[in-house]
Amino acid sequence: MPTRTRSHPASRDSPVQVAKAQVKKVAIIGGGASGAIVLDSLIKEDHVQEIVLFERRDTFGGIWVFDDKRAHNQNNNRDPDQPPLVKVGATRAELDPPLANPFHTNVHLNGLDDVNSTAEPVARLRLLPSAQERFEPTPAYERMKTNIIEKMMTYSDEKQWGDAPGQQYAERAVVQQYISRYIGRHEHNNKLRIATITFRQRLDDGTDLWAQEDFDSLVVATGHYHIPFIPEVPGAKDVQNHYPKVFEHAKFFTNGQKYKDKTVVVVGSRASGADLTKFTSDHAAHVYQSIRTIANTKKIVNSPNVHVKPVIEKFTKTPSGFDVVFADGSSVSNPDHVIYATGYQFSYPFLEREFGDITKNGAIVPQLYQHTFLLSDPLLSVVGVPTDAISFRAFEFQAILVARFLAGKVSLPSVSEQEQWLSNRYKTHGETRSFHTIGAQEARNYMKELARIGTLKPQPSWWEESFSISSKPRWRNMLSPLLSG
């Protein structure tokens, strides 16, 4: 459990900066794609003397790690094929509340042990585990592949996936291994300490091990595919209360086999929605894909058992069960499964004690300047928030800027200027997914602005290369995913 003190600018109209050598010890939370490039960038800064990389599983790769979801269900005393219940319309606060901080509460302790594992003492506690559902499995599923070509998605100094040279669209395992290798090349660096299984470590006696340690700065790199979201429509809550096993979220999808001969409704048309429609249709009797912009969307999966429908207007109970009613008036009676590929909510419960809820109802993180620096305290930064932003390459620009700022090499605009940027962003996009969406065209200007703030001069050789194919039709159509056959 990292803790730290806050920073404050000299005035609202002064540039925001830290003194050189002010930040010596940094915690990175998350060992996925964004955490890997943050680590690489910080290690290159001489003033940063100690880095602790926290990862809550025993392998690196973030969402590209494939978790055994059936085993996870069994370990939590559930039917192996029944995922956790995600209530319709449930908020981030309902699904992912913060655990009580045992160092600041009267939680009953099973023992206390102070350990000097670094130059500074690290307080450690052992206590009974929480039963709170943490939605720990990653959203990775079988046959998952990238939908951005290798040249655009990889880091600038490792432009090939490695195990599959020239493979433009890589299998999930190839990407996971790429990230793991990228982190692994620093594992013997004396600046780095790796702490897997963040916040909790289950001991042989069934207790959890908690630790508290102080840092000068926190970089959150936990991604945004953690807490599922199921939108509310009329009648959905009532039907879910009566038929809870029907409702699922794409986060818990593994493959299409359990849908054999079933009737399935898939809600969503982005990458996961398209994949799930394809993979369930290989086994199901009928698949109904509900798409928001049906008028402008061609049929993604060309299969006779796939039926494209507009948005769901309502659920209605019937004497024999329930109907899913679509906006065009058509309906499906008693589907066996309704799978929501409707995205995720931003959630950082581990920050709430000191910073409060930095999200706005889980929909956006409204106080992140350039989607990166917390307005009230830029020593807390978040890397990996932008969506549709050329993925790893956007994370790289964020990470380099964060590292240079923490090293005291560059300053951020004044608080007033940052507030204006955030205000303009909110006026344009509001509290919607597009607030953090950086599409193919906007990505160029976004990364150029990060490079300007970070004073990357001359611009690195891979700068224009990042966009050399961005105007090609296949790139413009990046949201039409490549589906494995």
Domains 2-66+98-131+138-226+347-473 and 230-342 agree in fold: yes
Please give the residue that has the higher pLDDT: either 467 or 273.
273
Angstrom distance (rounded) from CA 293 to CA 281? 21
The amino acid at 246: V
Tell me the domain boundaries of the chain.
Answer: 2-66+98-131+138-226+347-473, 230-342
Indicate the pLDDT class of residue 149, thresholds 50, 70 and 90.
confident
* Residues 107-135 pLDDT 10s: 444 444 444 344 445 777 888 878 888 89
Interval 357-362 mean pLDDT: 94
Mean pLDDT estimate for the chain: 87
- Give the residue, 19 or 72, on which the prediction is more confident: 19
Q: Give pLDDT tens digits for 311-321.
A: 999 999 999 99
More confident residue, 72 or 275: 275
Which whole number is the average pLDDT over 409-415? 97
By percentage, how much of the chain surpasses pLDDT 70?
Answer: 84
Domain 230-342 part of CATH 3.50.50.60:
yes
Rg (CA), the chain: 23
462 φψ region: left (φ > 0), alpha (ψ -120 to 50), beta (else): alpha
Q: Does residue 145 sit in helix, strand or coil?
A: strand
- Domain 2-66+98-131+138-226+347-473 in this protein, CATH class: alpha beta
Share of the chain above pLDDT 90, in %: 65
pLDDT in tens, 331-345: 999 999 999 999 999
- pLDDT confidence bin for 211, thresholds 50/70/90: confident
Q: How many CA atoms lie within 13 A of 434 on its CB side?
A: 7
Q: Is the pLDDT of residue 295 over 60?
A: no
Range name among 177-186, 195-204, 340-349, 395-404 with the lowest pLDDT average: 195-204
**Given the structure tokens 């669209």, which residue do they identify?**
169
Tokens of 462: 């891979």
pLDDT band at residue 371 under the 50/70/90 scheme: very high
| Secondary structure of residue 168 in the 3-state scheme | coil
Q: What is the mean pLDDT of residues 426-441?
A: 91
